[in-house]
Amino acid sequence: MNNLDRSNVTIVGGGPAGLGVALMLAQRGWTGITVLEKRQTANYYEPDKSFSYQIDGRGQKLTDLLSLTTKLADLSVLSTDFYFTLIQKSGKRQTRKLPIADPNRKPGYWLPRAALMELLYQEIERDWRSVIEILFNTECVEIQQHPEHLEVITQSSERGRLTFNPKLLIGCDGLNSIVRQTLTKIEDRSHSFEIQQFPSPSSGLKYKVLTLSPQFPLSERAGDLSQSTMAYGIRSIFKKRKKAISLGLLPFKNPEQPRTANIITYPDSEIWQLKTPAEVEQFLKQAFPQIPIDKIITPEEIARFTFSKGGTFPIPQYCSGLTQLYGKSHPDRTGTAVILLGDAAHCFPPDIGQGVNSALEDIYIFHNILAKTCDDLARSLPSYQDLRQPDIQALIRLVQISYPWQYNQDPLQKKIWGVNFLIRLGLSRLLPFMFSPHSIMLIQNHELSYSEILAKSDRTTQLLSILGGAIVLILITVFSV
Ligand SMILES: Cc1cc2nc3c(=O)[nH]c(=O)nc-3n(C[C@H](O)[C@H](O)[C@H](O)COP(=O)(O)OP(=O)(O)OC[C@H]3O[C@@H](n4cnc5c(N)ncnc54)[C@H](O)[C@@H]3O)c2cc1C
């Protein structure tokens, strides 16, 4: 595993992190890179994973490095062009620019997950086929520990059982990572790879995604069509906690592409209890009388939606161990170096839009460290661990505090959040050397690390507590005189 031997990499998981790190390593001159992906294709359509991402300045560090940002821009709606139309239960519509986008920051690019995956995949197919092999339909089923190295075992319907003995094993296999689970077992005494979970008001919420026809009609009026580049929030007429729902639509560049509408609500909501497509259709028609449901959603889609399991927002979580070295450390070693990237190492609800961006930033930071150590894994991996771990810890805290009340779970908490946001915004404009804006705005500054953002946010919280305490003391003094 010396700096001349940049070969023999196995990446488990071909999501954004897996394909992104394969491209980064190929660009650095690594060869013999195999990506194992259990899905059938890179952009395999999974209706309940058909959400949109905003690739912000943080994610763009990697797309810049891979010279992909221009192509990304061609596929995306720019965040500075992000307009949101709220359709009230009465049918009244209000369109506004997203209020919390910071105009001084690098704009982000909104695109569907499938479009991002296709972009990364096509880049591999075009330029890197000789060094990157993607094995679709291939699931990593086991990782065995040998005295000097780890052995990866896969199962595939076409290829049967395959084994790999990589020098570099990268876990990009998401929330239920088999790579991380294996490290947890092997390193059970240190507990480094055990997942640590932290509560958040948005975790546990259930979501399903409805696929709508492209440029669907917004009313019975001829020509009153939705715009693909516009985000929509459509409120139901139901008010009760267990019945009220909203449809949330993010913008797409391609007007011919079917739209997707997220329904995110409590796990015990009435909509999740409905058993038949007829019940769901009736519920949607009653909930949204302001839009022509039967012209927007096909009966087949209603049936798919009814029987799909949907997903649940995960609890914010991370493992403190990110890397491990097995085998001898001299230059001609035959051991295995292991690194966890993306959701395999840190996973959380989508409140602050950092899931994919933090995964891409992991890869960018790994690249910088490889560049500094001439790709010597024995030095790179401990450096990555030391540099990235505090940031991941800060990121998880930021997820807990930044914007967890946005899903209308609790109108009072949402209002308190709004007041807090405005106080911080006002004070940071008035006294910028003392106060910082809300962390949801600071996150847009990709030049700040997550640790720096958390430190700024905590400092403002402390100052606000002191200010609040002083105001209370003054009021007590004034009224007691
Ligand atoms: C509803 C929802 C909305 C979201 N919205 C946003 C958003 O707006 N912005 C944002 O930044 N993030 C968002 N995220 C988070 C984002 O999707 C993830 O952070 C991102 O996908 C992480 O990428 P990854 O490559 O690490 O993991 P994944 O995307 O989970 O990819 C892991 C891959 O590994 C494969 N795999 C797993 N196990 C194996 C195995 N044993 N063998 C072979 N292959 C395997 C899987 O099939 C998958 O393709 C959202 C998540 C959810 C659930």
What are 161's two structure tokens? 């059982």
pLDDT of residue 3: 45
Could you tell me the pLDDT band of residue 332, with boundaries at 50, 70 and 90? low
Q: Whose CA is nearest to atom 27 of ligand 1?
A: 174
Q: Is the CB of 178 under 6 A from ligand 1?
A: yes
Q: Which of 256, 209, 259 is nearest to 230 (CA)?
A: 259
What are the beta bridge partners of residue 126? none
| Length in residues, the chain | 481
Q: How far is the CA of 182 from the centre of ligand 1 (A)?
A: 19
1 falls in which pLDDT band (50, 70, 90)? Answer: very low
Whole-angstrom Cα distance, residue 43 to residue 187? 35
In 3D space, the residue among 165, 164, 168, 175 whose CA is nearest the CA of residue 135 turns out to be 164
| Angle at alpha carbon of residue 252, lines to 352 and 303, rounded to 5° | 90
How many percent of the chain have pLDDT more than 70? 97
Which pLDDT tens digit goes with each residue over 57-111? 999 999 999 999 999 999 999 998 889 999 999 999 999 987 666 677 889 999 9
| Helix (H) or strand (E) segment spanning residue 370 | helix 355-372
**Which residues have CB under 8 Å from 402's CB, separation 6+?**
351, 352, 438, 439, 440, 443
| Residue nearest ligand 1's atom 35 by CA | 13
Q: pLDDT tens for residues 378-394?
A: 999 999 999 999 999 99
Mean pLDDT of all residues in the chain? 94
User: How many CA atoms are closer than 13 Å to the CA of 22, on its beta-carbon side?
Assistant: 34
362 lines ligand 1 (CB under 6 A): no
Nearest CA to ligand 1 atom 45: 13
Give the number of other Cβ atoms within 10 Å of residue 319's Cβ: 22
User: How far apart are alpha carbons 120 and 343 in whole angstroms?
Assistant: 18
Domain ranges of the chain: 7-79+107-198+317-402, 206-312, 411-480
Give the fold, CATH level 3, of 7-79+107-198+317-402.
FAD/NAD(P)-binding domain (3.50.50)
> What's the pLDDT at 104?
75
Establish how many alpha carbons lie within 13 A of residue 245's alpha carbon, considering only the half-sphere containing its beta carbon. 28
Interval 296-310 mean pLDDT: 95
**Which whole-number Å values give the CA distances from 453 to 62, 122, 392, 393, in the listed order?**
20, 35, 12, 12
Any ligand 1 atom below 6 A from CB of 16:
yes
User: Residue 2's pLDDT is what?
Assistant: 47
Q: What pLDDT does 100 receive?
A: 63
The pairing of strands 52-55 and 109-112 is antiparallel
pLDDT tens string 238-290: 989 899 999 999 999 999 999 999 999 999 999 999 999 999 999 999 999 99
Give the model's pLDDT for residue 99. 60
Digit-coded pLDDT (tens) for 419-455 = 999 999 999 999 999 999 999 999 999 999 999 999 9
**Could you count the other beta carbons within 10 Å of the beta carbon of residue 23?**
24
Q: In the structure, what pLDDT confidence band is assigned to residue 409 with cuts at 50, 70 and 90?
A: confident
Q: Is 376 in the pocket of ligand 1 (CB under 6 A)?
A: no
pLDDT: is 46 or 400 the higher one?
A: 400
Q: What residue type is assigned to position 222 of the chain?
A: A
pLDDT at residue 316 greater than cutoff 50: yes
Does the CB atom of residue 180 touch ligand 1 within 6 A? Answer: no
